């Protein structure tokens, strides 16, 4: 069993990331293909690319131990049913069944943010911590909660929906989930831009960030971080708001799980040098003292590889080692 090769797959709205990974968690080969949503050939495309790549690099079919895959939206782990993946137009889609039928390999499916959390736990910033919260700050806010080495799924597979913790109970911005005031409307890249524009429009002071927005009509989360680094007043005010809400949300979560590590990843984490120390301050302020003492907040280290490595971990622990 130790020489089996694990297949990790991370299904995104625009690209599918794939990797062949050793039982030790080392990437042997990684690549990506576009996500064909239009014709919904996703499963067939995955089967074809695995088979082509294996042949290309001299891996036989019998060496492959199974596929561990992350999909967007809530997933039922037992059956591999994707309840709803809005971006892909899937509703109650039997992904595991279809994947096994087409590839001839055993498969295990989980939510994409959950497998990223497992990847960080196994080979990344989690450093094999058995109790861990992973927060992914990207276009939205995702997350995975690991307790005693196991992902918390909950009744309908929606455990770990960190982005939808209510941060502003009254009058918050509308979220894609149908609620208002979710953490996602504040701490995601889109949330950061939304708050920045709001502050710029309210402000009577012109700062370099204000001027950039007035000249071009658009700003990015990266702009907010760049200007905040240089002492821009509005940029820093946005960071303070985001850090306050993120620190509060993870403190409340941590009070329920008492994690050893809290890992912050996703594209927004590239600005961690500007906001992480503030998030830590608010976390300590709002967490139960013993919880604050036990938790280390770190930036994710695996980047885009977290998902495929987490998928491989699922194959190793759920399909091969049982």
Q: What is the CATH code for 5-120+304-320?
A: 3.30.420.40
Residue 229 has pLDDT above 70, yes or no: yes
CA nearest neighbour of 239 among 254, 222, 258: 222
CA 75 to chain CA centroid, nearest Å = 15
Classified as helix, coil or strand, 218 is coil
Start-end of CATH 3.30.420.40 domains in the chain: 5-120+304-320, 128-301
CA 160 to chain CA centroid, nearest Å = 10
Q: What average pLDDT does this structure show over 33-38?
A: 90
Q: Which pLDDT band, with edges at 50, 70 and 90, does 322 fall under?
A: low
pLDDT of residue 280: 98
pLDDT over 70 percentage in the chain = 99
Q: 74 or 86, which is more confident?
A: 74
Q: Which pLDDT band, with edges at 50, 70 and 90, does 171 fall under?
A: confident
pLDDT of residue 1: 54
Q: Tell me 163's DSSP state.
A: G
Q: What average pLDDT does this structure show over 225-253?
A: 97
Is residue 271 within 8 Å of 221, Cβ to Cβ?
Answer: yes
Give the CATH class of 128-301: alpha beta
CA nearest neighbour of 19 among 306, 321, 320, 316: 306
pLDDT of residue 38: 80
pLDDT of residue 88: 86
pLDDT of residue 86: 75
Residue 317 has pLDDT above 90, yes or no: yes
């Amino acid at each position: 069993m130790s020489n089996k090769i694990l297949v990790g797959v991370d299904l995104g709205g625009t690209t599918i990331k794939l990797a062949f990974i050793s039982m030790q968690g080392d990437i042997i080969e990684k690549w990506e293909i576009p996500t064909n949503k239009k014709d919904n050939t996703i499963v067939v495309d995955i089967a074809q690319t695995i088979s082509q790549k294996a042949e290309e690099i001299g891996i036989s079919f019998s060496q492959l131990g199974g596929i561990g895959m992350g999909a967007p939206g809530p997933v039922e782990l037992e059956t591999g049913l994707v309840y709803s993946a809005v971006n892909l137009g899937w509703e109650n889609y039997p992904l595991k069944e279809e994947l096994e039928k087409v590839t001839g390999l055993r498969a295990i499916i989980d939510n994409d943010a959950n497998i990223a959390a497992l990847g960080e736990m196994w080979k990344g910033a989690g450093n094999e911590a058995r109790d861990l919260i992973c927060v992914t700050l990207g276009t939205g806010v995702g997350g995975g909660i690991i307790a005693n080495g196991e992902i918390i799924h909950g009744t309908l597979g929606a455990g770990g929906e960190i982005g939808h913790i209510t941060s502003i109970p009254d009058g918050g911005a509308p979220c894609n989930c149908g609620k208002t005031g979710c953490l996602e409307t504040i701490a995601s890249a889109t949330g950061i831009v939304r708050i920045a524009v709001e502050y710029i429009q309210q402000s009577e002071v012109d700062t370099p960030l204000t001027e950039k927005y007035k000249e071009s009509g658009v700003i990015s989360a990266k702009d907010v971080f760049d200007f905040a680094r240089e002492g821009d007043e509005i940029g820093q005010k946005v960071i303070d708001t985001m850090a306050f809400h993120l620190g509060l949300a993870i403190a409340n979560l941590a009070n329920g799980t008492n994690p050893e590590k809290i890992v912050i990843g996703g594209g927004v984490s590239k600005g961690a040098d500007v906001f992480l120390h503030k998030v830590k301050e608010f976390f300590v302020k709002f967490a139960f003292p013993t919880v604050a003492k036990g938790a280390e907040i770190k930036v994710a280290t695996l980047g885009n590889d977290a998902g495929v490595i987490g998928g491989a971990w699922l194959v190793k622990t759920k399909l091969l080692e049982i």
